[in-house]
Chains A and B, each alone.
Chain A
Amino acid sequence: MAQFRQCPDTGLFFHKEAENLMKANAVAGVVCLLIGGILALLVVLTRWPAIHLLPADSFYMVLTAHGVCALIFWMIFFEMAILYFAGSTLLRSRLATPRWAWAGFVMMVIGAVMTLAAIFGGKSSVMMTSYVPMRAEPHFYLGLVIFAVGALIGCFVYLGTLVVAKNEKTYEGSVPLVTFGATTACIIAIFTIASGAEILIPTYLWSIGYISHIDPAMYRLIWWALGHSSQQINVAAHVAVWYLIAGVIFGARPMSEKVSRAAYLLYIFFLQLASAHHLLTDPGLSVEWKLFNTSYAMYLAVLASMIHGLTVPGAIEVAQRKKGLTNGAFEWLRKAPWGNPVFSSMFISLVGFGFLGGISGVVMGTEQISIIIHNTIYVPGHFHATVVIGTTMAWMGLTYLLIPVLFRRKMIFPQAAKLQPYIFALGMSMVAVFHMAAGTLGVARRHWDMGFAGNPLGFEYPATAYLLMGIAGIGGVIGVIGGALFCVIAVGSLVFGEKLQKEAGLLQSFGVPLADSAYTNEKPARLPMAPAEAVEADHGESGFEAPGTFILAMVLLVSFVIYYFINWKYLSEVWGIS
């Protein structure tokens, strides 16, 4: 019999099994972020030329672990928690087959441990991309495969939950927008994981000698169907989290269900094609293939992101204006709850993802512009803007929300939590911007020594490049402090935070039974549809209900256009290639 409790603060219903799974996945994710963050410190201090902390072999080992731990494990564990939340909690439905979900979780943990053990064994410093014919130890690949299968099970449990909810009529009409966003993420995840299996299983067999040869170009093609698509899971999921937080904090209503859902539909159709970004300077792929795929079929997925970029803040603006914050274009934004880390993390995620990550990503994904950017440190600069300022900060905001709602704990150090998003954002923006700048001067990524010690030929990057890497180093240290603060607050709140209700503490998520008075076997009432009156009331025919947002969107567009053409200008100055 499915047991539910209702959160007294938000009215959300939690299915007990789903709740425990969310907790387990979120905690596992934060642990991975913690490990990834410690490794980040070592990496960034090595790339800071004046410090140059680690020797080469440990640098490459630690960098491999940082990429795998932060990008794959932290992101995907947390995504599992989001899927269970969007499927079960938001739909007021029991989770389909919780046992399978637990099996998936256990596999993910085993896989993660196995891969990390391989990396720290020292013989698998192949970077997360593990391009063949460079060889890692077999359990490096095997761990990733097991992790991926676990995640795949999670995806199917989510889809199963959608079916259960529909059959048991826990809601009416269409699923909520946030759930639809999670569905998009789930679909992208299934393609991602299938591609991962397609390439990592043969590679595993190759590493133990069953297969003699794996074609390096094919490997890159299929690996990036995994590597890049997994970033698209993040995008789809963190946009859903933006909508979620806007809804919870402001009671914001999507400006138009049709527009937001159609934008997600464009993601489903086109977003994953962009794996081609990584192969723009590879041998033998035709121009047609490159243009079609790198542009997500004429940038239709970029269009979708630009739409979300308008509708998320636009929804907030409409909600704020309805509360009377109508002065000028930006009163709604000035008077937003900037001291609430749930909101500030989410809004920084939105702006940082758009301005830093989004613009740079589209520019560098332009077929020819890739020539002046491919594999330089510009690339890590770009993706720390997307995956750290964008996705990680969205997850952080959500975590601050879940500490009271899901874990029923009071947050410890609320003052520090207020500041944490700003510290983290400052540090990571410095990493992103200064890495990008150093990349335009040609500094290589995944590179232990920009002074090229040990080579008789010698080459000096301009002094500016050293300066930029040094500033990025300072930013990295600030970022790590911000990240550590997050981990301390999140983990600390779970362990030491005052219990809001005794029945749903941390112990319970480890299976220790406590009084479960708040859980009942009663099925929650059916999820009502959004109130209809609101629609006509705040969507006048005149249309411009969110002028401030429109101005922000235009600022984004203008920056985008300028930056785009600056890069063409740079490109036009290099040697002719044809």
Chain B
Amino acid sequence: MADENNTDEREEDENISPWQQMIDNPFLLLFIGVAMPTVFYTLWGVMEIASIPVAPY
């Protein structure tokens, strides 16, 4: 395993898909992975609970 197989020679494609660029970027993924549930689960849910009306009697 130690020997270098000549990876350098492999074709390097300039136009790597934006999807792959996203997947290769852990900090972008971290942002998305935290933002999604924060917005859709937590914030939306907090708003729903906060907007429950007081009993009419």
Q: Which residues of A contact B (CB under 8 A)?
A: 6, 11, 159, 162, 172-175, 180, 183-184, 187-188, 190-191, 194-195, 215, 217-218, 221-222, 225, 229, 261-262, 264-265, 268-270, 272-273, 275-276, 279, 283-286, 289, 292-293, 297, 524-526, 528-529, 531-532
Q: Which 4 A-B pairs have the closest CB atoms?
A: A187-B33, A272-B37, A284-B52, A268-B33
- Let me know if B30 and A289 touch, CB within 8 A: no
Contacting A159 at CB < 8 Å: which of B2, B20, B26?
B26
Which of the residues A180, A276, A529 comes within 8 Å of B23, measured between beta carbons? A180
User: Is the CB–CB distance between A11 and B41 below 8 Å?
Assistant: no
Q: Is the CB of A174 within 8 A of B24?
A: yes
A483 to nearest B CB, angstroms?
32
User: How near does chain B come to A489, taking the closest CB pair, in angstroms?
Assistant: 29
27 A-B pairs within 8 Å (CB atoms) are namely A6-B2, A11-B1, A159-B26, A162-B26, A172-B7, A174-B23, A174-B24, A183-B26, A187-B33, A191-B34, A191-B38, A221-B49, A222-B42, A261-B23, A262-B19, A262-B23, A269-B36, A272-B37, A275-B37, A286-B48, A289-B45, A297-B40, A524-B2, A525-B2, A525-B3, A526-B4, A528-B4
Q: A residues within 8 A CB of B15? A: none
Task: Give the distance in Å from the alpha carbon of A28 to the alpha carbon of B49 in the complex.
Answer: 39
Tell me the residues in window 1-51 of chain B with beta carbons closer than 8 Å to chain A beta carbons.
1-5, 7, 10, 19-20, 22-24, 26-27, 29-30, 32-34, 36-38, 40-42, 44-46, 48-49
- Bound-state Cα–Cα, A285 to B46, Å: 9
Query: How many chain B residues have a CB neighbour from A under 8 Å?
Result: 31
Q: Is the CB of A183 within 8 A of B41?
A: no
- Please report the C-alpha to C-alpha distance between residue A261 and residue B10 in the assembled complex, in whole angstroms: 21
Q: Is the CB of A272 within 8 A of B33?
A: yes
Are B36 and A275 closer than 8 Å at their CB atoms? no
* Given the contacts A285-B49, A289-B48, A268 and B32 also touching, CB distance less than 8 Å: yes
CA distance A461 to B52 in the complex (A): 37
Complex contacts, A283 vs chain B, CB 8 Å: 52
Q: Tell me if B's interface is mostly helix, strand, loop or mixed.
A: helix
B29 to chain A, nearest CB (A): 5
Residues of B at the A interface (CB closer than 8 Å) are 1-5, 7, 10, 19-20, 22-24, 26-27, 29-30, 32-34, 36-38, 40-42, 44-46, 48-49, 52
| B30 contacts A187, C-beta separation under 8 Å | yes
For the residues of A in contact with B, the DSSP-based class is helix
* Cβ–Cβ < 8 Å partners of A173 in chain B: 7
Residues of B within 8 A of A279 (CB): 45
> Which of A162, A191, A217, A275 is the one whose CB lies under 8 Å from B49?
A217
Give every chain B residue within 8 A of A262 (Cβ-Cβ).
19, 23
Tell me the complex Cα distance, A528–B2, Å: 8
Docked CA distance A20–B18 (Å): 38
A284: chain B residues at CB < 8 Å are: 48-49, 52
Residue of B4, B29, B37 touching A273 (CB-CB under 8 A): B37
Residue of A nearest to B37 (CB): A272
Chain B residues, CB < 8 A from A11: 1-2
**Most chain A beta-carbon contacts within 10 A, residue among B4, B5, B40, B41:** B41
The answer to whether B52 and A191 have CB atoms under 8 Å apart is: no
* Shortest Cβ distance from A179 into B: residue: B26
Contact, CB under 8 Å: A221 / B26? no
Whether the Cβ atoms of B36 and A289 lie closer than 8 Å is: no
Q: For the complex, give the distance between the alpha carbons of A159 and B33 in Å.
A: 14
CB distance from A30 to the nearest CB of B (A): 29
Rounded to whole Å, the gap between the CB of B31 and the closest CB of chain A is: 9
- Chain A: CB-nearest residue to B30: A187
Complex: A355 Cα to B53 Cα, angstroms? 42
* A195 neighbours in B (Cβ, 8 Å): 42
Q: Flag if B41 contacts A272 (CB, 8 Å).
A: yes
CA distance in complex: A184, B36 (Å): 14
Is B5 in contact with A528, judged by CB distance below 8 angstroms? yes
Q: Are B33 and A188 in contact (CB under 8 A)?
A: yes
- State the CA gap A269–B45 with chains docked (Å): 18
Q: Are A218 and B41 in contact (CB under 8 A)?
A: no
How many angstroms between the C-alpha atoms of A283 and B52 in the bound complex? 9
Contact assessment for B41 and A269 in the assembled complex, using a CB-CB cutoff below 8 Å? no
- Residues from chain B with a CB closer than 8 A to the CB of A229 are 37
- What chain B residues lie within 8 Å of A264 (beta carbons)? 23
How long is the Cα–Cα vector from A524 to B3 in the complex, in angstroms? 11
Contacts of B44 in A (CB 8 A): 289
Min CB–CB distance B4 → chain A (angstroms): 6
**Chain A residues with Cβ under 8 A from B33's Cβ?**
184, 187-188, 190-191, 268-269, 272
User: What's the Cα separation between A215 and B52 when bound, in Å?
Assistant: 13
B36 closest partner in A (C-beta)? A269
> CB-CB < 8 A to B36: which residues of A?
268-270, 272-273
Query: CA separation between A528 and B41, bound complex, in Å?
Result: 41
| CB <8 Å contact, A276 and B49 | no
B37/A191 in contact, CB under 8 A: yes
Q: Separation in Å of the A170 CB from the closest CB of chain B?
A: 13
What would 15 more interface pairs be, CB under 8 Å, given A215-B49, A286-B48, A289-B45?
A172-B7, A183-B29, A184-B33, A187-B30, A190-B34, A191-B33, A221-B42, A225-B37, A229-B37, A270-B36, A272-B41, A284-B48, A525-B4, A529-B5, A529-B10
